[in-house]
Chain A
Amino acid sequence: MELELRGITKRFGPLVANDGISLSVAPGQVHALLGENGAGKTTLMNVLYGLMQPDEGEIRVDGAPVSFHSQKDAIAAGIGMVHQHFMLVPVFTVAENVTLGIEQAGPAGLLDKRRTRREVAELSHRYGLDVDPDALVEDLPVGLQQRVEIVKALVRQANVLILDEPTAVLTPAETQELFRIIRQLTGGGTSVIFISHKLREVQAIADTITVLRRGAVVGERAPTATADDLAALMVGRDVQLRVTKSPARPGAPVLRVTDLTVRGDDGRAWVDGLSFEVRAGEILGIAGVQGNGQTELCEALMGLRPAAGGAVTLNDDDLTRATPRARLRAGIAYVPEDRTEDGLVGSFSVAENLVLDMYDRRPFAAGVNLNLPEISQNAAARIEEFDVRTGSAATPAGTLSGGNQQKIILARELGREHKVLIASQPTRGLDVGSIEFVHRRIVERRDDGVAVLIVSSELDEIYALADRIAVMYEGKITGFRDPDVPAAELGRLMAGGADVAPAEPPPAGPPPAGSHQDPESQQPPEPREEG
């Protein structure tokens, strides 16, 4: 099926979300829509999926103009969509979810469950989806839930599959699995519209890349285009994909973790006798596939989860049993992994979020009262300094984009006096421009003599920031490496490979500075499901 959009324009009041966008998707192709958050990608797809009506322009299927008044029309025309947030009923089985809305009734008006199960099994087999029709959706990991969404679209005879930011919730291994499935689908003649702001993924999977900026198409590129070229198109200016940093000048150890053991809610030792130290003026990057205890490690470092054994010290002060507040006051700045859940109070204003851990201290508190003028002055200064794009300081932080939310957290944490910065997944879900900003700030702190600990499952990020790399696997550190270690070696350690002495000749040359890794080689060889 040949799908074509011609001059699609969609306005919301004075705001033009889509401005005369035209693109065509050939059968069996992966067409990537690349753009920063708010560039109009999702609006365009909502128009295509019949959720919104365009103000101007038309959609053509196999050359004939069509108009979609609801998603039913779009589905009937062979368009399927997998939303960023899945539309599944957790307590239903896979087959029940797939059949929901198109239930087939048997002779006595009973649901024909057997037929759906057969269909699911068949599709699952044909495209190597490995989905069990009888599994409860709530028991499935995120990657499999996504495949259920894909099956849902395929059962409804989708010829064009829209994937909205499909990798945002996936681990690197799951992403590789998804790419394999996408190739299988396109091999069978299905077209895929792949929406993303991640350059690396788009380069790896797309046949054609359309770049959107501020609601308009700013260019079309082949996947061979360089990352710098794509990033510049996306952001509208040249972007440094890797911040320039001078060699670290590490000082004395500041944060010291000794034999730390942390148990999860399930009683399992998610952090298992871990030891490392972070010195002033250096960035230690903890690499690892997500779900190997990084979350528990950070929670234990912040006092949010008790240590079952071992010690955490900051400049020889024992913090092992300290409360979160005591640790913050001792000089730890913390950027949590899940910024909307742990980093911000979404319904609070930007100004309130900027003092979330300082509200009871002078100058923001005067006795029992809040010092509101001081809080708003602080907000104005921080918004300016960190270039937070917000309507006003009174805007609820939850309505801002991910990049701006992260800037608020950074502004708050770095605004306090601190000797250590712990940042977990500091750029997850951020667009290229924001990543550059966050990385630059982190390197600045290092240069000011702060001991920085970065936990990230993105190897690009580890390479961009770390002065030393520790790889974490199943709660243990499988090895420390210098930042010029080849990605394949890190991948081996991330999959739990034994720590071979670094003196041995590396299997590949060091990564060329400033360029991007081949995504294949960066992934740990063994797909693991998140624990």
Chain B
Amino acid sequence: MTTPEAGPPAAEPASSPPAGTGPEGGARPPHPFGRILRESFLEGNTFTVTVLALLTAAVLGGLLCAFTNASVLHAPDAGSMIARAWDTASGTYVALFEGSIFNPHTVAALFQQSSLPTAVHDGYLSAVFGPLSETAVQATPLILTGLAVALPYQAGLFNIGGQGQFIGGAIMAAWLGYDVRLPFFAHVAVCVLGGFAGGAAIGWLTGEIKARTGAHEVIVTIMLNYVMLYFLAYLLSSQSLLQAPGSANPITPPLTSNAHLPLLAGTNLRINAGFLIALACALAVWWLLNRTTTGFEFRSVGANSAASRVAGMNVERSWVLALLIAGGLAGLAGSAVIQGTDFTLNPNSYGTYGIDAITVALLGQGRPGGVVWAGLLFGALHAGSPGMQTATSTPAEIVSVLQALIVLFVAAPPLIRAIFRLRAARAGGVGAAMSKGWNA
């Protein structure tokens, strides 16, 4: 898998060794690797903090599962209570794992078949990869909308408008998907590009309003979310517009099969080309930010807009462009959901991606590689939650709580440092900066 994690050395201010701490700011003796590792752990840099935040959230989540469970609460004595609590918590996480990554029972079932060809034909092989496929499917829109938050963040902008931009893209993808007749590949491409354009239009509008009037993008994006929400409701309630003919429900006609994103691993698995698009976008955003002059401008404007202006950059143009691209990315998420899994647009299509995107970007430290990992993690949580519910009757909402706990701990590095008695890192983490970046 593509993991464009580390940028060029020049682009990683947080991880570079701070100089100028010596009286002369001169060269310091190089440290052995082991010592650097130990120091980086003790100082609680952002990576350590993120890992510890995940662990802490998992432990707390486990306790929460255990002690909201009826059988645990009605245990006859303390000993069996602890035993049942352990069973519930571990059962929950095992189910989560089996639902999102790998279920040993599927392998057993595969080898119980008489011959491999029939096993493959009956879908037993697919079943082995089912959890991973689901994780990828769930992660796709999270990665794309996460990028839509991370990219403007690098340009100093807080994009809360993932939802509106997602809807913009979904409208375009759905409309082009059922109303246009084109050959297979061309139709997919047209719908995907349409999705990008639909989201980009909303992003561009946000940027243009900010650049021209100085209105804060947080307010503008939140308000545009409402506009798009009700615009979609309007479209879906008018027979002459997007509503499926003869339907009483707010739903579009189904997309023609030519517009479906191609499946990647056979008809039994839902994993589709949308996942590849998401990964390609992560790579493209990384390249844009770290390797191009435009990305240099974005990062410079984001880090210090005054100095960027003095250096001759067009700050307003950067804002507009960053939000336009971000809107396009969120629009692609809409296209991936409509063309990849739902094949129709209805008011459930946009889910909570707009808000989840912020948590994904936050967990991913605002960097493309981090967003991919965070998107996969949250995708796995989503993919595993139904199994969890059936196995230990843990409510699916516990996954939302788990997500919230992770983000809470990531967003509050001092909390994690206090729990694990880490020294403060010398450079403040992106997470911390992002969680308090509202007064941009």
Contacts and interface: CB of A to CB of B under 8 A. Distances in A.
A447 to B, nearest CB: 26
Contact of A341 (B11, B18, B26, B306): B306
Given A326-B312, A345-B307, 17 more contacts: A323-B314, A325-B313, A327-B312, A341-B304, A341-B306, A343-B307, A346-B304, A347-B303, A359-B297, A360-B297, A375-B10, A389-B25, A394-B10, A396-B427, A399-B19, A401-B20, A401-B25
Contacts of B17: 391-392, 395
Contacts of B21: 12, 15, 399
Interface string B279-315: 0000000000001111111011001101111111110
A333 B8 CA distance: 29
B43 to A, nearest CB: 12
B309 A215 contact: no
B32 interface: no
Contact of B307 (A323, A326, A356): A356
Given A356-B307, A389-B24, A390-B25, A400 B19 contact: yes
A391 B27 contact: yes
12 contacts: A38-B25, A325-B313, A348-B300, A349-B13, A349-B16, A357-B311, A369-B291, A372-B291, A390-B25, A394-B16, A396-B427, A399-B18
B299 A348 contact: yes
Interface string A315-358: 00000000111111100001010000111111111011000110
A14 B31 CA distance: 12
Nearest to A353: B307
A391 B25 contact: yes
B74 interface: no
Contacts of B294: 368
Interface residue range, chain A: 35 or more
B310 A368 contact: no
Contact of A390 (B13, B20, B29): B20
A8 to B, nearest CB: 15
Interface of B: 8-13, 16-29, 291-297, 299-300, 303-304, 306-314, 427
Contacts of B291: 369-370, 372
A376 interface: yes
B429 to A, nearest CB: 13
A369 B23 contact: no
Contact of A359 (B13, B293, B304, B310): B293
A485 to B, nearest CB: 32
Which of A327, A372, A375, A394 has the most chain B CB atoms closer than 10 A to its own CB? A394
Contacts of B304: 341, 344-347
A343 B306 CA distance: 8
Q: Which 5 pairs, one residue from A and one from B, show the smallest C-beta to C-beta distance? A: A391-B19, A325-B312, A357-B311, A347-B13, A395-B19
A496 interface: no
A101 to B, nearest CB: 22
A144 interface: no
B22 A38 contact: yes
A369 B296 CA distance: 10
B52 to A, nearest CB: 24
A38 B24 contact: yes
B20 A304 contact: no
A329 B8 CA distance: 28
Contacts of A389: 20, 24-26
B13 A348 contact: yes
B9 A394 contact: yes
Given A38-B25, A214-B24, A370-B291, A336 B18 contact: no
A437 B16 CA distance: 28
Interface in A169-226: 214-215
A39 interface: yes
Contacts of B311: 324, 328, 356-357
A46 B27 CA distance: 25
Contacts of A328: 311-312
Nearest to B16: A394
A379 to B, nearest CB: 9
Given A391-B27, A399-B20, A404-B25, A345 B310 contact: no
B18 A342 contact: no
A17 B21 CA distance: 10
Contact of A323 (B9, B20, B27, B312): B312
A3 interface: no
A195 B314 CA distance: 41
Nearest to A375: B10
Nearest to B312: A325
A324 B316 CA distance: 13
Contacts of B299: 348
A143 interface: no
Nearest to B23: A38
B23 to A, nearest CB: 4
